[in-house]
Chain A
Amino acid sequence: MGATMDVDIGGTFTDCLVTLDDGRTAAIKTPTTKHRLAAGFMKTVQQAASQFEMSVEELLGRTDVVRYSTTVAMNTLIQRNGPKLALITTAGHEDVLRIARAASWTDSTLPKEIRNVAQIDKPEPLVERSLVVGARERVDCFGRVVQPLAEEHFLLQLRDLVDQGVRGFVVSLLFGYQNPVHERRIRELIESEYPEGLLGAMPIMLASEVLPKRWEYTRTNTTLLNAYLHQAMWEELAGMNDDLRARGYQRGIMMVHNTGGMAEVYQTAAVETFNGGPVAGLIGGAAIGRKLGHPNVIVGDMGGTSFDLGVVVDGSTRTYEFRPVIDQFWVDMTILQTRSIGAGGGSIAWVNTAVGNRLEVGPRGAGSLPGPAAYGLGGKEPTVTDADLVLGLIDPTGYFGGSLKLRPALAEEAIRKHIAEPLGISVVEAALRIRRIVDANMADVIARETLLRGYDPRKFVLMAFGGAGPTHCTGFAGHLGISKIYVLPTSPVFCAWGSSTMPVVHIYQLSRRLDLLEPVSQKLLADFESFNSAVAELRSQAERDLRAEGYDPVDAVLTLELDIKFGGQFHLHRASSPVLEITSDDDVKAVYERFAQEYAEVFSPLNVFPEGGVEIHNFVLRAQTAPPDWELPTHPLEGRDAAAALKGSRTVHWPDGEAQTPVYAQDLLRAGNAVPGPCIVEAPYTTVVVEPGYSLEVDQHLNFVITADRQGES
């Protein structure tokens, strides 16, 4: 095995972790170059090479794999600079994107904003209404053609769209997932009217191919997003590919997917790359949890603008988004569940006068420009970082490796003016409250993600990373009663590191409605063929893709999941299937029983209701190769005394009063060292804060293990 290179391009920083075949690693963090992401990436490669004292060519020549997660999808959407697309629907249903299942204004807003009904707005569709045309055709719920496609009429519509300058087509017809005959014919018509070269390549994407699943709103959104992101992603990847090849890289590029796996670039749909970074962090948290013997892990990444959270239960990361949203659009993809709230170092504290002068933090943030007041870049409003600075938790001269000098006087002034004076309290008291509230906000989102899924957060360990994560981890863990926290040596580049632990995963899905149990009669599914042919269809796609990536499909693990519901109920429950194929009544029973058991566990056995029938709606096949082998580097334990790492001390304001607090240097702490709280450990990209009531130990992998002195204290 040669060197590996894991890259995570985030909104603010590009992180890169290079691991050489001899075990040496380089973790590089550089500002993201928004105009051309590949430039920032190549910069990290350069820095890594110089750390290893070799040339870029030499490093790339030794590299076996580049694993890559990117925010290009997110950026394209934020800037809305994708191509001009046309949408072709069934006639009479052209408003699918505007009706958007009614309250689409709730899909990407916070509960508080949802209550403000006067000020709601729906997301603006990615296609103008005038570029949506209805093809005269109809297929019904059994996949039968009710009305044949009016081809001549469609050609007129097509000419009109081309005249309006569209640069791509999305075809999404009612029940096209059951019978794609009209969608395919429309593609043929477009291709024959406008052969490639005539107008340049224009993508034609069929919803029945991108996501052959029931329900036109989410299927259309997914297909449309894919078409919208397609071009930007290919330009970006082609740029990176060219740069890498020019400097001697020979192998392929693997893309991190929001499904929790990776695939070769050419096997990747653009929508699958959305939110790849946080998902890689989640997978990394699960992987390291397994090595350390912790099946239940909360992965918390607190950066400048947001707090991203993932939850690993029983070693599994396979909890999917119940309502996956990309940008503002509800999609029906199988995306690993992560959460993000506006709680970061740059979140703004403010006094809400409407509700009795209540102190609130976020969701608005100061971003990196103007940033916290202490940056001195024009920010006047107090942020979490300003509070941390006023409390003495962070060193104004050592922020971000010392490259950014903070100005405590500005932080104090902002807190005094906006918080302390309106509330009639001291600046320190205000800073303590800001910290307490932002910590509680993060604790709340963790509580929601665990409790709502039926788990007790106290039974989890926390892995804290991101610039502000280690600074706040004892704060929010304390609210939840979490008693063990890890801050890892890879913390600054944790998402990049996470992708090094990812297997190749492909997820295939299709909709087929089958009665597993008939209503009233309770007859078992007799039509084995419908079930088996659905799985076979997905399986052949999986095998084809795996072969193309150089894997023997025999080595891959195939698992089947089914979206099932009780008759009359609305909510589908994703259940794992004990079998890939049904050959007997016992198999059918086994499928039902597994579903009923999982359902009862999550909700209540009171509500199992087979008398109304049990329906399968979706088939989801997951094909996974063995995850890469890796080891945590181990260091000999050198005793508890950490005196050698002590840099000095400073006055810190803790909730119970101020105290002279020791400050340690991360790079001088050795495996086995132990320090009681309160204390502070300074690292190049973050500051670890150990509040009173906690203590820190360095384990044999150089992980910081922070434990509550009293178990379960809150």
Chain B
Amino acid sequence: MTVQTHEVDEHLRVTPITISPSTMIEWTKPEPLSPLVRRCVESLEPGDYEIYDEKLRNFLEEAREVFVRSGVTGMLRAGDLIVAVYTANGDLANASAGTYLHCVTAVLPVKFVMHKYFTNPSVGVRDGDIFYANEARYGGIHNPDQMAFMPVFHEGELIAWVAALTHNPETGAIEPGGMPVMARSRHDEGMKLTPIKVGEDFRIRDDMLDMMANFTSRAPRMQAIDVRARITGADRLRRRIVELAADRGNDFVRGLLAKLIIEAEDATRRRISRWRDGVYRSSAFIDTIGPKSVLVRGTLAATKQGSEITFDFTGTSPENDGPYNCFPHIVAAHAAVTMYAFQFHDLPVSNGALAPFNWVVPEGTIFNANPDAAISSSPMVNSLTVSVVQQVFARMMFSSEDRDQVTGNICCQPCAPLVAGPNQYGVPLAEVDSAILNTDGHGARGDRDGVDAYGFAYGHATRAPDTEDTELEQQFLRLYFRLRADSAGAGTHRGGMGTETALCIWNVPFAVWTVYAMSSYLPVTLGVFGGYPAASAPGISVHGTDVLEKLRRGDADIPRDSVELATRKAISGDYVFEHSNRPVRPALEGDIIVATTGGGGGYGDPLARDPELVARDLRDQAVTEWTACHVHHVVVDPQTFAVDENATNAEREKAREQRRSRGKSWDEFHADWEQLKPPEPVLEYFGSWPEGVRETPLARF
């Protein structure tokens, strides 16, 4: 194929946008097909796409493996990473992703470089260049997520881009850990690199490494190693693409990458077309913005028409002076976490799948904050996005052949306890308890319960370490680590259970700890079609305990779950009951920290649950007798777990009777309901009641 220079230029073009944090989302749409690329796609032979799509996936898996095994951050193990290949003008063609977040955000820095620097002689893009970025204003979720990306040249032509991204828990912010709860503006959040060139000729520049190490001087060595790991991963992928181009030609690579995006877009549109046109709405609430327990709302109206969907987040609470804010592309990234795992799980991970989506994210809300806002806890505030997106899709998809993709919410309330200080070997550590972080409940389904302790809603297929694994590395002893009874949302089918643990500080005189969590006062993990939300996460800790003596004595009453711990108080000490999001504080050996993960949302009326399943859950300690009786109205023998059918029918009839007498007509209900309002302190960050609009200007310094 003969190629004209102007055709190549056109093919490398990125749609110009006004660059700002609130507009970067426009680049999530695929670039229009240039005539050159169109010809490349048409010249693919039958079967090529199928075979080389698979081959590309192998390249991605290989690069990911190299990346994961050569890095040091624990987030690689949790799967907070992506290895991706892009077209020459920055559209994501396919990726191996531990979390789908970065399928959206890692696109934008590539397009930014092509847009701004490709033809800029002071920067340029040349074979062997290594670019780097971690500034959410140019893509990215928050600055712990750092990304290395490289152009792929073959025979002098730019044919693709590759990238590797993972989370580093140190950014040089005002607190250690990368997500400073006390941050008040972007200036408190540490290193934020706009897309820059950190290497040339396939070599990293030492001056750039030194600069990054200087920014992250709490853990400079980790920074240096993981920068290399990202580049090693990206470069492995680059080499494979170059080999492919050498084997099949540049046009083939262009055609293949474009075809993946075209196929994904076509398939996404076909799927959307078979859902019912209409407007679907959901509101969800969280009860913290980090340093404070306050009410915050996320609102979504999804308008589905033909093969297009518009997501409108009008009604979402105003931005605040903490780190619980974000930008629109970050909202889209959190929507993608659901979309690539449910609605479009069988399509290539490419931004073709985002083409049918339009986004309305009003400025001044927590989802479209001022460019100077602190945003490092953006994943926490996007619990709201994960919740409402699941809710609207459930309603949109039920009446189609995609009904098997409808579930109650997967737990969307992250819980991350962090224990810091010298561990039992004297090595200073600040580690998240990944066992708790990664054992969330899965949503209930139309035909069966959700999966207990399935993984983590932001990454799905994540792994939790064994108790021995964490106790060998960290300075605590788990009194228990178990599935948590009653944690799942009840329903005809229940959500998957979450877990609970009690960490007893052990083998060290003291430690420092904190817990990032939510949903103590109201739930964010919702059910569908009458299924209930997941249970509350209580913040419990016990200080100055006698647990060491009790263990030594072999006392029979050492608690084996949180309810037992909190109600019997067999361990003596000062019991603290508070919101589960807990700021940094010290603890002594023997102090106990309780942490719980959320269950999944329920599906359908709990009164319609098969009584035998309730009996099974009771036997397996998934629900308590209280819940069997008060929520499911099932009569079960607590010894034999035999269901008394007649008594159950009678109880359920009584429950329906109660509904009849409790239920009021719409107007009657509103007469009372509209008199109610949460107390003022709860509404401090909500905006006007009930509109959620900012009432006083926000000062940020």
Contact = CB atoms under 8 A, between A and B. Distances in A.
- Same complex for A and B? Answer yes
A604 B341 CA distance: 32
Interface in A398-440: 433, 436-437, 440
B466 A136 contact: no
Interface string B49-68: 11100110110011001101
Interface in B419-459: 424-425, 427, 438-439, 442-443, 445, 451-456
A529 B439 CA distance: 39
A102 interface: yes
A105 interface: yes
Contact of B481 (A99, A136, A141, A570): A99
Contacts of A195: none
Contacts of A569: 72
A101 B61 contact: no
A321 B558 CA distance: 40
B560 A92 contact: yes
B551 interface: yes
A554 to B, nearest CB: 37
A648 to B, nearest CB: 32
B547 to A, nearest CB: 10
B369 to A, nearest CB: 30
Nearest to B259: A356
A447 B229 contact: no
Interface string A215-240: 11110000000000000000000000
B232 A116 contact: no
Interface in A76-135: 91-96, 98-103, 105-106, 111-112, 114-122, 129-130, 134
B418 to A, nearest CB: 15
A49 interface: no
Interface string B447-487: 00001111110001111111111011000011111110000
Given A116-B345, A130-B620, A612 B556 contact: no
Contacts of B471: 140-141, 174-175
A710 interface: no
A456 to B, nearest CB: 10
Contact of B50 (A103, A175, A437): A437
Contacts of B65: 452
Given A140-B507, A451-B58, A568 B482 contact: no
A106 to B, nearest CB: 5
A105 B453 contact: no
Interface in A528-552: none
A167 interface: no
Given A92-B478, A440-B51, A609-B72, A120 B442 contact: yes
A609 B225 contact: yes
B112 interface: no
Contact of B232 (A444, A513, A604): A604
A355 to B, nearest CB: 5
Interface of B is mostly: mixed
A448 interface: yes
Interface stretch (A142-150, A283-291, A694-702): A142-150
Contact of A118 (B71, B404, B560): B404
A146 B477 contact: yes
B62 A451 contact: yes
Looking at B72, B221, B228, B263, the one whose CB has the most chain A CB atoms below 10 A away is: B72
Nearest to A446: B58
A146 B506 CA distance: 11
A602 B439 CA distance: 32
A138 B442 contact: no
Contacts of A120: 442, 451, 454
A129 B221 contact: no
B85 to A, nearest CB: 16
A566 interface: yes
A567 interface: yes
B679 interface: no
Contact of B560 (A98, A99, A134, A433): A134
A541 B456 CA distance: 42
A452 B72 contact: no
A571 B266 contact: no
Contacts of B685: none
B58 A103 contact: no
B554 interface: yes
A141 B472 contact: yes
A520 B478 CA distance: 29
B483 A607 contact: no
A692 to B, nearest CB: 18
A448 B345 contact: no
B47 A437 contact: yes
Contacts of B506: 140
B483 A95 contact: yes
A714 B247 contact: yes
Contacts of B50: 358-360, 437, 440
B451 A433 contact: no
Contacts of B340: 115
B427 A433 contact: no
B463 A102 contact: yes
B58 A115 contact: no
B61 A147 contact: no
A305 interface: no
A612 B219 CA distance: 11
Contacts of B469: 214-215
B434 to A, nearest CB: 9
A40 to B, nearest CB: 38
A469 interface: no
A165 B213 CA distance: 62
A246 interface: no
Contacts of A115: 340-341, 345-346
B51 A101 contact: no
B466 A101 contact: yes
Given A138-B551, A433-B46, A568 B560 contact: no
B69 interface: yes
Contacts of A140: 471, 477, 506-507
A613 interface: yes
B655 interface: no
B456 A102 contact: yes
Contacts of B345: 115-118
B552 A146 contact: yes
A147 B341 contact: no
Nearest to B551: A147
A360 B47 CA distance: 10
B552 A147 contact: yes
Contacts of A602: 69
B508 interface: no
B453 A102 contact: yes
Contact of B453 (A98, A218, A571): A98
A607 B558 contact: no
B445 A118 contact: yes
Contacts of B530: none
Contacts of A356: 263, 266-267
B72 A612 contact: yes
Nearest to A214: B468
A112 B464 CA distance: 22
Looking at B55, B552, B554, the one whose CB has the most chain A CB atoms below 10 A away is: B554
A448 B461 contact: no
A450 to B, nearest CB: 10
A91 B561 CA distance: 10
A354 interface: yes
Contacts of A568: 72, 74, 222
Contacts of A130: 619-620
B465 to A, nearest CB: 7
B454 A612 contact: no
5 contacts: A99-B464, A117-B342, A129-B619, A571-B77, A603-B66
Shortest beta-carbon contacts, A-B, top 8: A92-B480, A607-B70, A102-B464, A606-B228, A117-B341, A129-B620, A570-B77, A103-B455
Given A93-B482, A613-B427, 14 more contacts: A92-B480, A93-B480, A96-B467, A103-B455, A111-B57, A118-B341, A140-B506, A149-B554, A175-B468, A437-B47, A570-B76, A571-B68, A606-B70, A714-B247
